[in-house]
Structure 1
């Protein structure tokens, strides 16, 4: 949050000198992870992520406020959620939310970036966008798969749960066998990023929390995993789940031949020794 305040302060300080409105509304933001970064599907979970427009400029508080209000109205209309639930998901208090949603509180709109609601809303809106895109892709893929199945009767049937579980166990064994990843080395993903990777892995066909606890985490108590998944920022950095899961996903990345994401490279630059594993 400190880094965000530093970014926000750069906007407000810009109003102290006679510069053009165009420049004022186009703040320079350094060391950010763009929503266009396709190297990591969940890049918006990164601590330094900033939502950008199609032209590469940071989205203004007014844009975020309008998009958030549209999302709230949409959820109310289709009955999927309420304003109270959405505010709760933002993890901000009601006073901060109400203040942010009233543009009259910010004669200089960029000063609204000091309100946590701005940053929480940008991530929520990007997450909603990501989920809608994933659902659309899954629907198209499913339709294509059905067409192929009907046109090709020789295609094998869907694997059973037992077969999927067996395949996952084999994959996990291959991951554990990847060499040259130190068990006691630096951790270069934040807790938030590791949580996102765990949730994504748990969504694989056939994967269960029980199998994940047993095969990936080595028999960790389920309550410890649940507490880690529900954590905020780095408050669960001391748990064994953090390091163990990080090492597993680092080996998985190497096994699958994927490059490091922009967020990962930024973390390595900012924390040469890795994230702290001790609460501050």
Structure 2
């Protein structure tokens, strides 16, 4: 369990004047305020969240002790947005921050990466307040028939599928982008997505949510290239593209030209050989190619 610490000073990294991470007086977030629109009566059995929520002041000392590391907060953000409760812009506004701060924090990877970002503290306070009010993480309500139809690629076959060796022409970052976009679809759940991509292997595997979160938490064109999630997701999205009759992207065409036999998914992304005479550390371009100066 991460060690708690007190937010004792303003972070030195990118700041957002709309966020007060020290627990001083801030605008109170009313989590129970209904969205505009025609009200509809629900059955008592359908109401999952308590209706008489305790008020939690913005200067409540319990909001000042951060007990989640950066990766844990990022996982909560992904789960919350994946439920369809809010989109990125709405969530950034709800925590009192901006889309720019959201992107700065969410594109980092590591328990302490992003600890200097305002968004880290703002998001932690948001979820801690919900926890203190007894609010559970919302779950996306999806009809199984709709999800099955959305994910059905059973009529598409790819070369190399029987051997589990379909050549890949996307980077890990591109596949991550597609996964996150797909999971934001109102008719898709994380569990349903994992069940579907598991079918891409010759012998169907069980792919767990933790494996997905580990892959999504990485950053870099080849970061996560040996992951089963990377391979299975690529195969699924390629089948989805063919099923829907969509053309190849410019990125995809570039990857085919650079990697005629497919992107490397055997060599770990943090292992490379330094050629004799190389004076500086290698760098990786957006296509996952390693260059030496």
Instruction: Please state which band the TM-score falls in when normalised by the shorter chain.
Output: 0.3 to 0.5
TM-score, scaled relative to structure 2: 0.42
Higher relative contact order (Cα pairs below 8 Å, separated by 6+ residues): 1
Larger proportion of helix: 1
TM-score, scaled relative to structure 1: 0.44
